[in-house]
A = this chain, B = another copy of it.
């Protein structure tokens, strides 16, 4: 759909129909995720597609019992590979760029899901080490988001926004002109 309509219609979906999400659609989500920009084009992201019921259940548990995650037909764990850009950028790459860039890729998944008629929900509240263990992450790879994806069984949530005037400044912080 038109980008501007997509922005208006996007929102989190936490209830899914049980119908499967075809692999082809998952590939579309990831095909767009890797089109995200990244510092020096080093693309410090990794994606783990989880369809196994037991693994999803363990992720939902690690996510402080957010059980809707286990009910999504697919969970995509977006991760940052902190070594992929550390060579060129050192600690700034490891700690800053890798999280920014993996966040970009995560938002691309959320937007693309909505564009394809899917629903998606991003979970960031989870016990880190439990998620790393379930997903078998090596030390240089860390999770960012757990994205539940499926056919929506509810409309996307529409959340209120802080008025623009409160978060926009001119030339210097605090200056509204």
Main secondary structure of the interface of A (DSSP, over half): mixed
Inter-chain contact B12/A37, CB cutoff 8 Å:
yes
What 1/0 flags go to A34-59 for Cβ under 8 Å of B? 11110101010111111110010000
Q: Is A68 an interface residue (CB 8 A)?
A: no
A174 touches B136 (CB 8 A): yes
User: A168 is contacted by which of B35, B49, B115 (Cβ under 8 Å)?
Assistant: B49
- B45 near A167 with CB under 8 A, answer yes
**Contact across chains for A48 and B169 when beta carbons are under 8 A apart:** yes
Mask, A19-34, CB within 8 Å of B = 1, is 0000000010011101
**Is the C-beta of A62 less than 8 angstroms from some C-beta in chain B?**
no
With both chains docked as a complex, state the minimum distance between the C-beta of A37 and any C-beta of chain B, in angstroms: 6
In the bound complex, CA of A3 to CA of B3 (Å): 5
Across-interface contacts of A137 in B (CB, < 8 A): 173
Q: Would you give 21 A-B contacts (Cβ < 8 Å), ordered by A? A: A3-B111, A7-B112, A11-B37, A27-B164, A30-B168, A37-B107, A39-B125, A47-B169, A48-B168, A48-B170, A51-B171, A52-B171, A89-B125, A92-B125, A96-B124, A97-B124, A100-B145, A103-B107, A107-B108, A135-B172, A138-B173
